Amino acid sequence: MKKILSVVGARPNFMKVAPIHRAFSAYPEVEHLILHTGQHYDAAMSDAFFQDLDMPQPSYFMGVGSGSHAEQTAKVMVEFEKAMHELRPDFVIVVGDVNSTIACTLTAVKMGIPTAHVEAGLRSGDRAMPEEINRIATDSICDYWFVTEQSGLDNLKHDGHPDDRVFFVGNTMIDSLHYALPNADKSDILERVGLTSKQYVLVTMHRPSNVDEPKQLGELLEILAELSKDRTVVFPVHPRTRKNIASHGLSGIIDSNPNLKLIDPQGYIAFLALMKNSDFVLTDSGGIQEETTALGVPCLTIRTTTERPITCEIGTNTLVEPTTEGIRRALTMTLNSPSKTGQVPPLWDGKAAERIALIIVKQCLGL
């Protein structure tokens, strides 16, 4: 019996690992364990996802919490090394691009444990994003690469990684979307927030470049307030953004605009329902660009670059320059012209995790 350990740390990791855990249940010759680093720790940012995704509680919880990038990454490494000694896995899986991803990859690879990166090869080209550094560093040292889109294959080829360890498998985040949609269709979140399907705009915003500076955050909130005079705006607020709104003294903008509804971060199923029923989405997230493309919902991404170019090339995503004029222009166009339509990218069919499990069991572990 071989032991495989998947790492989750922050909110965008949970939906990528849940289908992988399910897929391994078809192989009695392996035991699949989940380890949670505790990078995200609030109930709304973490626990809710385990329930919504039918994921068992992690076998190991490290509780590292927040800190500067160096502190958080270092804490994860120290605790993960202890966990590795205790759990003794034969194979490690990391997903995405958060600090836990690089911290656990670096630790596992140095301990000589074969490590696979799921969602490998994505590049925004913007080294000011901490996630870009995490992607580059993880991909440069891991042993196997599982890829969601053509650009990932191209980037890994360019970096000289061996073809026989790079696998184009599709997108496990979209596996979770397929799995949870029937429940999202039964969600009562719209009634609870007082929304009508296709008559509101869904907003998420948490990137340091958009929400850390008082001026940028204030301007963004003013634009949302203007938009809310035209269309209801619902904004589930990330803890980072919530803290900054309060500490920069910007709560007044929210209080004086009742159609700008700030709500707590939502669980996976409720958030899926909010996305699916929205008129369009305004975001700076990574994963939401992919989920909206899979759902066929137009998405305006307030960033100058994307590591997921397929969502713009064939999906419903559009990049928007993060300036007041850029965002205003994009909103005016979106409100006054037909929405961007798109196609679902190749292999985003709900079966990516099954492909990954088969490859790991047969090719990587040779079982």
Within 10 A of 252 (CB to CB), how many other CB atoms are there? 10
Active site residue 21: no
Does 66 sit near ligand UD1 (CB under 6 A)?
A: yes
The CB-of-47 to ligand UD1 minimum distance in angstroms stands at 10
SS3 state of residue 34: strand
Query: Which CB, 22 or 206, lies closer to ligand UD1?
Result: 206
Does 8 sit near ligand UD1 (CB under 6 A)?
A: no
Subset of residues 177 to 216 that bind ligand UD1, contact rule: CB under 6 A: 206
Q: Are 280 and 342 in contact (CB under 8 A)?
A: no
Does 284 sit near ligand UD1 (CB under 6 A)?
A: no
What count of residues does the chain have? 367
Q: Which amino acid is at 211?
A: V
H-helix or E-strand containing 202? Answer: strand 200-203
The sheet with strand 144-147 has its strands ordered as 60-61, 30-36, 2-8, 91-95, 115-118, 144-147, 166-168
> Measured between alpha carbons, how far is residue 19 from residues 16, 178, 344, 350 in Å?
7, 10, 19, 9
Subset of residues 331 to 360 that bind ligand UD1, contact rule: CB under 6 A: none
The CB-of-65 to ligand UD1 minimum distance in angstroms stands at 7
Interacting residue with ligand UD1 among 42, 185, 213, 264 (CB under 6 A): 42
Does 41 sit near ligand UD1 (CB under 6 A)?
A: yes
Query: Which CB, 94 or 360, lies closer to ligand UD1?
Result: 94
**Lookup result for tokens 């040779």:** 366
Of residues 36, 117, 206, 238, which has the active-site annotation? Answer: 206
Query: Which CB, 66 or 323, lies closer to ligand UD1?
Result: 66
b/e map 299-317, b = 16+ CB within 10 Å? bbbbbbebbbbbbbeebbb
Does 239 sit near ligand UD1 (CB under 6 A)?
A: yes
Interacting residue with ligand UD1 among 131, 290, 291, 307 (CB under 6 A): 131
User: Given the rule CB under 6 A, which residues bind ligand UD1?
Assistant: 10-12, 39-42, 45, 66, 97-99, 130-131, 206, 238-240, 286
Instruction: Report the catalytic residues.
Output: 206
